[in-house]
């Protein structure tokens, strides 16, 4: 019995390796799959036969460039094996995307977030999910997973938003957004966690790059942080510590979370607005500040306005001080700065370096690499696909054992 269980586990692991290789590299021939996974040719043959029989992957032919000889047989995911829906929640809007099993984007639309409490919020998302499948005439039963992301604190094991800038401590349970006839798994992740995972994946594909740990710092209405570590034995380890609500200054400025002195209370958009206009630090923060308003303050700062310059300098120091604690706890790592706030990086940079320089780990080890990556929406979407498909591939292997023989025995 134990031998049979071990054989089944090996089969599942090898099948996951093959699907992961196809995700990473696209269509591959038999020998290319073997090279990418390190699996023996006979094992690859058995696995691809089983995956094809289970209608998870399919074969296609590519004619030789010379026009002579036998065409190459290539394997790829079967597009209609199932579908994924991503739901990306921003401060003022929600983006919905439908993706097939091969990772092809089929449909996308964005709606305003709307007003009201959590019940109205979930009702609007439920209606939008119905529109997603209706627009593409997809059976809700063929949706394998709904992947949701938001700023704020996500529950460790359930798709529940524990705290968010909009709803505060009112929990939002996204399983309630699925109507009758829906059966997919629902997952929820902090947005910056997904960004960190996508950045690690991008870095791994660059020739000569060997970054195994990195941090993603997201600047905007909220302040987010994600940490991603490569794991040679399995999927990367990705986390999203509550960086924006770490203490920066005891009894300091009032934060949207209700505490005083958080990093976000000095570095979020509402904090920059508050300082630039000399609003008392205990003023209740605005839930949403248009980016155009921060751009106006940035223009004034570049023109020499003292309070506008102070607002960005103060924000930079808070960010740098927080990053110094990150490095003290986790060691040196490159920091990739993303989000709409990157357009003001020239005004933040000196403050960030000032905050970092005040800690021993930086004085001894030097300033970490700080790199700006402006296109955060693309990173969020990539992070959704990377994480969601790793889950979907595992689930689909486990759910179709009757179609698959013991490959790898």
* pLDDT tens figures, 29-57: 989 999 988 999 999 999 999 999 989 99
Q: Look up the CATH number of the domain holding residue 25.
A: 1.10.10.10
Q: Within this chain, do residues 61 and 163 fall inside the same structural domain, yes or no?
A: no
Query: Which of 213, 241, 206 has its CA nearest to residue 333?
Result: 213
With respect to residue 136, please indicate whether it lies within any of the assigned structural domains: yes
Residues in contact with 395: Cβ distance below 8 Å, sequence separation at least 6, in sequence order: 144, 145, 185
Of 294 and 30, more confident = 294
Q: Does residue 215 sit in the same domain as residue 353?
A: yes
Q: Which residues lie across from 112 on neighbouring strands?
A: 93
By residue range, what is the domain housing residue 145? Answer: 81-183
Q: What is the mean pLDDT of residues 198-221?
A: 88
DSSP secondary structure string, 156-217?
SSSSEEEEBTTTBT--EEGGGG--TT---EEEEEEHHHHHHHHHHHHHHHSTT----EEEEE
Percentage of the residues of the chain whose pLDDT score is greater than 70: 94
Pairing of strands 185-190, 143-150: parallel
pLDDT on residue 81: 93
| CA pair distance 35, 252, nearest whole angstrom | 56
pLDDT at 65: 63
Mean pLDDT of 111-140: 93
Predicted confidence at residue 2, as pLDDT, reads 45
Picking from 148, 183, 218, the residue at the C-terminal end of a domain is 183
Domain presence at residue 194: no
The dihedral sign for the CA sequence 386, 390, 395, 400: positive
Whether residue 71 is found in the same domain as residue 86: no
Residues 243 and 279 both lie in one domain: yes
Residue 89 has pLDDT above 70, yes or no: yes
Domain co-membership, 237 together with 156? no
Say yes or no: 36 and 99 in one domain: no
- Verify that 236 and 365 share a domain, yes or no: yes
Structurally, the chain folds into a number of domains equal to: 3
Domain match, 176 and 322 both? no
Domain match, 139 and 213 both? no
One domain, residues 261 and 337: yes
Mean pLDDT of 138-143: 93
Which of the listed residues 183, 218, 252 is the one where a domain comes to its end? 183
Per-residue confidence at 64, pLDDT binned at 50, 70, 90?
low
pLDDT at position 175, please? 92
Q: Which residue among 14, 47, 77 closes a domain? A: 77
CATH of the domain at 164: 3.30.420.40
298 within a domain of the structure (yes/no)? yes
Per-residue pLDDT band at 69 (split at 50, 70, 90) = low
Same domain, 226 and 366: yes
């Amino acid at each position: 019995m134990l031998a049979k269980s071990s054989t089944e586990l090996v089969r599942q692991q090898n099948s996951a390796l093959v699907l992961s290789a196809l995700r990473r590299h696209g269509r591959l021939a038999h020998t290319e799959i073997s090279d990418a996974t390190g699996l023996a040719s006979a094992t690859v043959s058995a696995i691809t036969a089983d995956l094809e029989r289970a209608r998870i992957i399919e074969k296609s032919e590519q004619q030789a460039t010379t026009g002579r000889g036998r065409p190459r047989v290539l394997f790829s995911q079967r597009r209609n094996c199932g579908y994924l829906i991503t739901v990306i929640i921003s401060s003022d809007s929600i983006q919905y995307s439908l993706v097939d099993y091969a990772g092809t984007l089929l449909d996308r639309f964005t709606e305003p977030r709307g007003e009201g409490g959590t019940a109205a919020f979930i009702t609007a998302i439920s209606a939008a999910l119905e529109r997603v499948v209706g627009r593409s005439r997809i059976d809700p039963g063929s949706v394998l997973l709904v992947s949701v992301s938001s700023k704020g604190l996500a529950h460790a094991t359930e798709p529940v938003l524990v705290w968010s800038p909009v709803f505060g401590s009112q929990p939002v349970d996204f399983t309630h957004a699925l109507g009758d006839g829906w059966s997919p798994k629902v997952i929820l992740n902090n947005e910056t966690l997904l960004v960190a995972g996508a950045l690690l994946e991008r870095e791994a594909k660059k020739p000569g790059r060997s970054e195994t740990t990195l941090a993603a710092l997201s600047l905007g209405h909220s302040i987010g942080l994600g940490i991603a570590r490569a794991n040679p034995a399995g999927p990367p380890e990705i986390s999203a510590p509550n960086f924006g609500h770490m203490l920066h200054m005891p009894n300091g400025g009032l934060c949207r979370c209700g505490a005083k002195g958080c990093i976000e209370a000095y570095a979020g958009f509402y904090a920059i607005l508050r300082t630039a206009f000399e609003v008392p630090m205990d003023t209740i923060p605005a839930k949403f500040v248009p980016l155009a308003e921060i751009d106006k303050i940035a223009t004034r700062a570049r023109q020499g306005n003292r309070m506008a310059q102070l607002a960005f300098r103060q924000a930079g120091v808070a960010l740098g001080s927080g990053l110094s604690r990150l490095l003290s706890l986790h060691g040196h790592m490159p920091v990739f700065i993303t989000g709409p706030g990157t357009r003001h990086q020239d005004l933040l940079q000196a403050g960030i370096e000032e905050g970092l320089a005040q800690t021993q780990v930086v004085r001894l080890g030097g300033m970490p690499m700080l790199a700006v990556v402006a296109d955060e929406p693309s990173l969020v979407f990539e992070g959704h696909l990377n994480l969601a498909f790793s889950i979907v591939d595992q689930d689909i292997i486990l759910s179709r054992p009757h179609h698959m023989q013991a490959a790898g025995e």
